Amino acid sequence: MSLHIELADRIDRTFGARLPQPVEHKQDALVVHLGNGVTLTVRYAANDAYSLRWNFGDAELGIDTAPLHRELATFPNHLHDIDGQVRPDPLTHPDDTPVANVSRVIEALLADPSLGLR
């Protein structure tokens, strides 16, 4: 089973009651619509190579593992905050499973899509 198919299945089973529709499958991504108006786009190339982007209203944030910001304690993963600044990633860990990482992100986004960074 492909990673995205497995992730979509777990997201639907775990969070289905809080999603207005099932997870959408795109060619290289999953799109998850949360009940609070957040749209999360999930891209996993490998367990330790991912991009999780979300938007709500005009705001867009994201977490990814592009190996760019060596100065951050969470290198290679990092957060692009609501102002476009790069910060340490407070939610995901490249050594965790995709299901664990995405579940933590969804729980956090359901509580506060800006992650308290407004």
59-87 pLDDT per residue, tens: 999 999 988 888 988 889 999 998 889 99
| Distance, CA of 82 to CA of 86 (rounded, Å) | 10
Q: Is residue 93 within 8 Å of 77, Cβ to Cβ?
A: yes
Q: Is the dihedral of CA 101, 104, 109, 113 positive or negative?
A: negative
Q: State pLDDT tens for residues 16-66.
A: 999 999 999 999 999 999 999 999 999 999 888 999 999 999 999 999 998
The per-residue pLDDT for 116 is 85
Other C-beta atoms lying within 10 Å of the C-beta of residue 46: 10
Q: Is the dihedral of CA 51, 62, 113, 30 positive or negative?
A: negative
Helix, strand and coil content of the chain, in percent to the nearest 5, comes to: 25, 30, 45
| Percent of the chain scoring above 90 in pLDDT | 73
Q: Is residue 77 within 8 Å of 24, Cβ to Cβ?
A: no
| Distance, CA of 71 to CA of 63 (rounded, Å) | 16
The per-residue pLDDT for 70 is 84
